[in-house]
Chains A and B, each alone.
Chain A
Amino acid sequence: MLPLRPEPSEKNRRIPFGAHAAVLPKSQLPHLLNALLEDYRVVGPRVGAGEIVLDWIGSPDDLARGYRDVQTPGIYRLEKAEDDGTVFTYVNGHESPKKFLHPGRFVEFVGKPFQAEARPLPIEEDRRKTAFFAIRPCDRQAIHVLDLVFKNAYPDYYYCRQREGSLLVVLNCTATGNNCFCVSMGTGPRADTLFDLALTELDGRFLLEVGSPEGEAVARRLDTRPATSEDLTEAAQDLAGAAASMRRKLNTINLVQILQGQFDNPYWDVMGEWCVGCGNCTAVCPTCFCYEIDDTLDLATGLVERIRRWDVCFTWQFTEMHGCNTRSELRQRYRHWCEHKLSYWVNQYGVFGCVGCGRCLTWCPVKIDISAVANTVRRNQL
């Protein structure tokens, strides 16, 4: 079976559609969650404050049900959905698995001020592995992208501890969000690599694909039946329909080379005026990995906590050095973010940094669409 945690040098093995497929009746979905909960700490979609969030799930009842999200550029709304038997009536909220694998803020070390000694915090008690339930194909790819970043020559201790042995239960997309463009990025609407289990929601049932021995161990405990050609045809049609309905497109042909030849394109001046530099896109991006270190004095204990937190390449401080700043203008900082996602990343890791989830557009206060920006630069090449 496929290697779950491929090294950068290995090619991801593709799993042909329906290669190891079964049918899970919808009534069995709670059993799937219970089976996961026996061995794993489970993360899945829950209803948060006006939004679908990714959070710990303690029982099948915690799963978000009965809500529908409406996403347009710069807008996210959660509404009550009519019950037509569909379970997953929503796509991604702003949170991605990054929240758990590369948390936004945590303490790396503790030590006395002015001292060299930095003590790691004691390891938490619960060492069960994490199962990511109903993450979308784009987020599964985002985990792969983060693996490439953090499992390099110096594997990141904190990332690897969270990632080690985690189980990916992917939910393929039979309906897509208005801001998605995963088809352009080649990451969806079906996950064809790097999943342990994959669900595709059909009428009254799920198609359950098995992608690894770990996934199979869970699937064995469920009351499934083998998938028929009818099941596979219906799933294939639904997935193709989802792909066809995706209107947002990003042309990636030669994009890596094109963007690196456009550092002086005046369109970046337009983007420098348009972008407000808030950094929302970096916070919601499932692959943005940059982090900052802040030493913070805890006044109660008198100890210094060395805190790692997400950083934002849109801030002036991001590239600040003594006496100079290499990206002192917002124009340069927007260009850097865009070029990194769609160009540099391929040089660095062999994959795009953008997975086409569309979060940066949903959560952008000024409705900047990275796919449109890339297409515009392509059309107006110097």
Chain B
Amino acid sequence: MNWRNYLQPLDCRIEAVRNENADTLTFTLSFKNQRTRKVYSYLPGQFNMVSLMGFEEAPLSLSSAPGPETSFQHTVKVVGRLTHALRGLQVGDSLGIRGPFGVPWPVDELMGKNLLAVAGGIGLAPIRSLLLHIFRQRDKYGKVTVFYGAKTPREVIYTDEFSDWKLQPDTELALTVDRVDGQSWEHNIGVVPTLFEKVPVSAHNSLALVCGPEVMMKFVLIELFKRGFPPESIFVSMERRMRCGMAQCGHCMFGPKFVCRDGPVFRFSDIQHLFGKGV
């Protein structure tokens, strides 16, 4: 019997590299194999396992939106061995990709709703994928509010795109940083949950989408509950160590859930009993 080896990374060519800030890059990739390029499809919120021989693999969110183009994007923060190696790559170099894996943002359920997307740090990458997806068919969604925070102005990503986002109809973008180290910053200063004090948010006909460090999510959830969002109306994108993406290596287990297969996007009511329990 010929079994397919799902662990085999497929060669991708780096089509473009953009520096988002000093330690964050956005790679535009496309499969070298024409057939793979045609059949590969994904939804916002899904991830790929990105591979480079010598540096293992890491799960990285897709930061682009699915569309007619056959390339896709990953926004990478340089934090570990693999991502340090990625920083050394240039246009024309190769990367190994397996995917897409995981449960995407509930793009159908979001239609007709007002959306509050809350992102912290590199957590904006999967939110960007969703926003670009929404902006391609803007009339199908209600008001879109984006809360985004980074540690300092130096760590903000996608700064070049914010003006385009704000130009979208009925779309609001609120920015914050934890602190300012002498840089100029005309937006809010404070952690992400402080944006709730500055920008009115209504739970009516609304869904919330949250992605960021777990500690940020914890306090954002408190604010959402205060404003009447039921757990069923909140979606969170979880992060865990992953080695396979296929519920076989065991690392991403979150209680009985495999984050790679049952997530990374969860309806909060499905994981409320597990969240913050260290399971």
A-side interface residues toward B, CB under 8 Å?
Answer: 108-109, 111-118, 120, 149-150, 152-157, 160-161, 164, 260, 263-264, 289-295, 297, 304, 306, 311, 313, 318-324, 326-329, 332, 335-336, 339-340, 343-344, 347-348
Cβ of A306: which chain B residues have Cβ within 8 Å of it? 53, 56
Given contacts A306-B53, A326-B254, 16 further A-B contacts (CB under 8 A): A109-B7, A113-B54, A116-B11, A116-B12, A116-B95, A117-B53, A154-B248, A156-B7, A160-B1, A260-B256, A260-B273, A263-B277, A289-B248, A292-B243, A294-B56, A340-B253
> Which residues of chain B in 226-266 are interfacial with respect to chain A, using CB atoms and an 8 Å cutoff?
239-241, 243-244, 246-251, 253-256, 258, 261
Q: Quick check: B55 and A290 within 8 Å, CB to CB?
A: no
Given contacts A150-B248, A289-B250, A344-B253, contact A118 B53 (CB under 8 A): yes
Cβ of A108: which chain B residues have Cβ within 8 Å of it? 7
Q: Quick check: B56 and A113 within 8 Å, CB to CB?
A: no
- Tell me, in angstroms, the Cα distance from A164 to B2 when the chains sit together: 11
Cβ of A319: which chain B residues have Cβ within 8 Å of it? 240-241, 251
Cβ of A112: which chain B residues have Cβ within 8 Å of it? 53
Cβ of A311: which chain B residues have Cβ within 8 Å of it? 243, 249-251
5 closest residue pairs by CB, A with B: A290-B250, A116-B94, A347-B256, A111-B53, A344-B256
Q: How many Å from the CB of A342 to the closest CB on chain B?
A: 12
Pick from B3, B54, B240, B247: contact of A297, CB below 8 A. Answer: B54
Chain B interface, DSSP helix/strand/loop, else mixed: loop
Interface flags, B114-125, vs A, CB<8A=1, else 0: 000000000000
Q: How many Å from the CB of B150 to the closest CB on chain A?
A: 14
> Which residues of chain B in 70-112 are interfacial with respect to chain A, using CB atoms and an 8 Å cutoff?
77, 79-80, 85, 88, 94-96
B5 lies within 8 A of chain A by Cβ: yes
Cβ of B247: which chain A residues have Cβ within 8 Å of it? 152, 348
Q: How many Å from the CB of A261 to the closest CB on chain B?
A: 9
Cβ of B279: which chain A residues have Cβ within 8 Å of it? 263, 326-327, 332, 335-336, 339
Q: How many Å from the CB of B253 to the closest CB on chain A?
A: 7
Most chain B CB atoms below 10 A, which of A112, A311, A322? A322
B278 lies within 8 A of chain A by Cβ: yes
- Tell me, in angstroms, the Cα distance from A289 to B258 when the chains sit together: 14
Q: How many Å from the CB of A374 to the closest CB on chain B?
A: 16
Cβ of A149: which chain B residues have Cβ within 8 Å of it? 248
- Tell me, in angstroms, the Cα distance from A292 to B56 when the chains sit together: 10
B51 lies within 8 A of chain A by Cβ: yes
Given contacts A118-B9, A297-B54, A306-B53, contact A318 B248 (CB under 8 A): no
Q: Quick check: A318 and B95 within 8 Å, CB to CB?
A: no
Q: Quick check: A115 and B246 within 8 Å, CB to CB?
A: no
Given contacts A157-B3, A160-B3, contact A113 B53 (CB under 8 A): yes
Q: Quick check: B249 and A291 within 8 Å, CB to CB?
A: yes
Residue pairs across A and B with Cβ atoms less than 8 A apart, 20 shown, are: A109-B53, A112-B53, A116-B9, A116-B11, A118-B8, A157-B3, A164-B1, A289-B248, A289-B250, A293-B56, A295-B54, A304-B53, A304-B54, A311-B250, A320-B241, A324-B213, A324-B214, A336-B253, A336-B279, A347-B256
B40 lies within 8 A of chain A by Cβ: no
Q: Quick check: A322 and B249 within 8 Å, CB to CB?
A: no
- Tell me, in angstroms, the Cα distance from A290 to B260 when the chains sit together: 14
Pick from B52, B215, B243, B246: contact of A154, CB below 8 A. Answer: B246
Which residue of chain A has its CB nearest to the CB of B77? A322
- Tell me, in angstroms, the Cα distance from A304 to B51 when the chains sit together: 12
Given contacts A289-B248, A311-B251, contact A323 B56 (CB under 8 A): no
Q: Quick check: B53 and A295 within 8 Å, CB to CB?
A: yes
Q: How many Å from the CB of B122 to the closest CB on chain A?
A: 9
Cβ of B8: which chain A residues have Cβ within 8 Å of it? 109, 118, 120
Which residue of chain A has its CB nearest to the CB of B89? A114
Cβ of B241: which chain A residues have Cβ within 8 Å of it? 318-321
Which residue of chain A has its CB nearest to the CB of B12? A116
Q: How many Å from the CB of A139 to the closest CB on chain B?
A: 20
Cβ of A336: which chain B residues have Cβ within 8 Å of it? 253, 279
Pick from A114, A293, A297, A326: contact of B85, CB below 8 A. Answer: A114
Cβ of B11: which chain A residues have Cβ within 8 Å of it? 116-117
- Tell me, in angstroms, the Cα distance from A339 to B274 when the chains sit together: 13
Cβ of A348: which chain B residues have Cβ within 8 Å of it? 247, 256, 258
Q: Quick check: B94 and A117 within 8 Å, CB to CB?
A: yes
B204 lies within 8 A of chain A by Cβ: no
- Tell me, in angstroms, the Cα distance from A70 to B1 when the chains sit together: 42
